[in-house]
Amino acid sequence: MSDTQLLICGKNFKQEERDRLSAAFPAAFVDGPADIAALDAGLRASLRAVAFKGHTAFGAETMDLLPQLGLIANYGVGYDAIDVTAASARGVKVTNTPDVLSDDVADLAVALLIAQARTMIRGHAHAASGRWATEGEIPLNRKVSGSTVGIVGLGRIGREIADRLAAFKMDIHYTSRSEKETPGWTYHADVVSLAKAVDFLVIALVGGPETKGHVSRAAIEALGPRGVVVNISRGSTIDEGALLDALEAGTIAGAGLDVFENEPNLDPRFLKLDNVVLQPHQGSGTVETRTAMAVLQLDNVAAFLEGRDLLTPVN
Amino acid sequence: MSDTQLLICGKNFKQEERDRLSAAFPAAFVDGPADIAALDAGLRASLRAVAFKGHTAFGAETMDLLPQLGLIANYGVGYDAIDVTAASARGVKVTNTPDVLSDDVADLAVALLIAQARTMIRGHAHAASGRWATEGEIPLNRKVSGSTVGIVGLGRIGREIADRLAAFKMDIHYTSRSEKETPGWTYHADVVSLAKAVDFLVIALVGGPETKGHVSRAAIEALGPRGVVVNISRGSTIDEGALLDALEAGTIAGAGLDVFENEPNLDPRFLKLDNVVLQPHQGSGTVETRTAMAVLQLDNVAAFLEGRDLLTPVN
């Protein structure tokens, strides 16, 4: 039997993040949940906490490989890769890293929206290539301020996005599980009604099975030919095939996307579009925020292993 | 002697803008001020108003070619191409198109700032090329919300920018000719002091000789290695050589620029940088705003030719 109580699970951990965790507690490391079965049985029997980073499934079978498991501490606010129901059934707590990343994700959402409407990718290529001098101006594009935006999911991140867009004099509409207290924003009970009412539709849902395909083909159709989709949540929250159909056919105006269904392997149809701004799931990808997320994950691990209250439990 | 009282001057007028002006008043057309001398003397003697669009100089000698000239109606808020002193000396009124474009320019300024900090040009290229799948994630970048911004020139546009950035929880500092009433923003008497205090420096000055090189080499140096310049005003307002030196040497972090000294002929040094987001002077370049600008220009022309008060005189 080993003394090692912590497993660092995720090949995307930066070296300094692994070092920070290992400095606090003796730790083993695996690339992902699929590699846990191959660990020495004595080590598996000693592991009490997993520091997890990634988007591959962490399910019941994996949990059952770790008989002493008491905590899965997720790096990120979205823990849809972890089967929380299975964890709860086994008395395993799950934590995430909310709040510390909301600002960054909201910043990127706003910039995706403006960059799409103002054709900034094209603008940059035009200026940076020298074509501005030889070919003249780019076509006029589209005003953002004063338009109408629909926020799909007015949680922590959705609220941050709405607060920012309100400063652009935008008329804020939203959906959420129930009507919220807002400064006069317009609640819609369903996403089709929301999409029909707005110019820009910004998706800020949690991921997971409950929200899979929530922004449906019908919602995308309701958005109409001037409509723009912005998604900074999870690729799963929108019917991606319907989105691609609409972008290709021009039945909506465009999209600004940080997340995709099979990321990082994007549907190749995305790569041929000129009405999109694409980002490589970097919503929380700043030095400042990733450090804050890593520290919060470690603080949850430490709280658990040292018998204190968890900071940000989700179950 | 001709009956034509209006001259449309500027090769960048869109056809629909020319049509709108010509439908209101019989009009002659030239590509720019340099072509006025070649007009028939009878026509020149009948012209009372010029609808002007462009950045080439409209000076005293040009005005003297039009003995009945009473109005130069500029398309755009910045009228630095027009010698207003010479106009005033001749009893010629000048109008511009303020306010209607402030929102658009502020929107672009905010998006330039975020796009630079969050390396969105790189991010888009990474995702849209398929390199995300083969090469993994992009490097972490930089948090915007909560940082400190300095607005150089708290006029109409500067104020719109500050109002938006306040919603990103940014600490707002500014310079202007005098201290203004603000919600607790920090006034600096000079631009070097401002640059020293902030992460992001956003230039929102008017153009013209008085502000030429206002953001000096010393100010750029004071900004320091984490500093980012955003310029949506005029290329002339910053020491462009000093800016290029700093961007090349990494003595500042980067820039987001919509305006350049010799636009559209950019200094080729700009085209080699990877720490900039460049736009082809499209701050007001939306369908909605350009229409509003054209209508306001026409309204000024109509007010003058029909003997009513000008809407937006500048002298």
Give the tens place of pLDDT for each residue, A153-186: 999 999 999 999 999 999 999 999 999 999 999 9
Neighbours of A67 (CB within 10 A): 13
Domains defined along chain B, listed by start: 6-98+288-305 (3.40.50.720), 102-278 (3.40.50.720)
Closest residue, chain A, to B114 (C-alpha): A111
Residue B255 pLDDT: 98
Preferred mutation among B31, B75, B140 to probe A, highest tally of A CBs within 10 A: B140
Of B20, B122, B156, B281, the catalytic one is B281
Contact between B14 and A136 under an 8 Å Cβ cutoff? The reply is no
Of A44, A188, A214, A234, the catalytic one is A234
* CA–centroid distance for B304 within its chain: 26
Contact between A27 and A6 under an 8 Å Cβ cutoff? The reply is yes
Instruction: Give the distance from residue B103's alpha carbon to the nearest chain A alpha carbon, in angstroms.
Output: 6
**Chain-chain contact of B111 with A111 (C-beta, under 8 angstroms):** yes
Query: With an 8 Å Cβ cutoff, is A99 touching chain B?
Result: no
B1 pLDDT exceeds 80?
A: no
Q: Which residues of B touch A168 (CB under 8 A)?
A: 103, 107, 164
Dihedral over Cα of A109, A114, A117, A123: its sign: negative
How far is the C-alpha of A184 from the C-alpha of B103, rounded, in Å? Answer: 22
Residue A2 pLDDT: 84
Tokens linked to A80: 């849809």
What number is the average pLDDT over the span B279-308?
A: 97
Q: Which residues of B touch A100 (CB under 8 A)?
A: none
Among B128, B136, B289, the residue with its CB nearest the CB of A278 is B128
Q: In chain B, what percentage of residues exceed pLDDT 90? A: 99
For tokens 């993994």, the residue is: B136
Q: HSE-up of B247 (CA within 13 Å, CB side)?
A: 24
Q: Is B263 a catalytic residue?
A: yes
Q: HSE-up of A142 (CA within 13 Å, CB side)?
A: 17
Q: Which residues of B touch A103 (CB under 8 A)?
A: 143-146, 168-169
How far is the C-alpha of A251 from the C-alpha of A230, rounded, in Å? Answer: 16
Q: In chain A, what percentage of residues exceed pLDDT 90? A: 99
In this prediction, does ipTM exceed 0.85?
Answer: yes
Contact between A93 and A73 under an 8 Å Cβ cutoff? The reply is no
Give the model's confidence band at A1: pLDDT under 50 very low, under 70 low, under 90 confident, else very high.
low
Q: What's the whole-model pTM score?
A: 0.93
Closest residue, chain A, to B128 (C-alpha): A271
How far is the C-alpha of A204 from the C-alpha of B102, rounded, in Å? Answer: 29
Give the model's confidence band at B2: pLDDT under 50 very low, under 70 low, under 90 confident, else very high.
confident
Contact between A9 and A54 under an 8 Å Cβ cutoff? The reply is yes
Residues 139-198 of B with CB under 8 A from A: 140-146, 163-164, 166-169
Instruction: Give the distance from residue A42's alpha carbon to the nearest chain B alpha carbon, in angstroms.
Output: 33
- Model pLDDT for residues B33-74, shown as the tens digit of each residue: 999 999 999 999 999 999 999 999 999 999 999 999 999 999
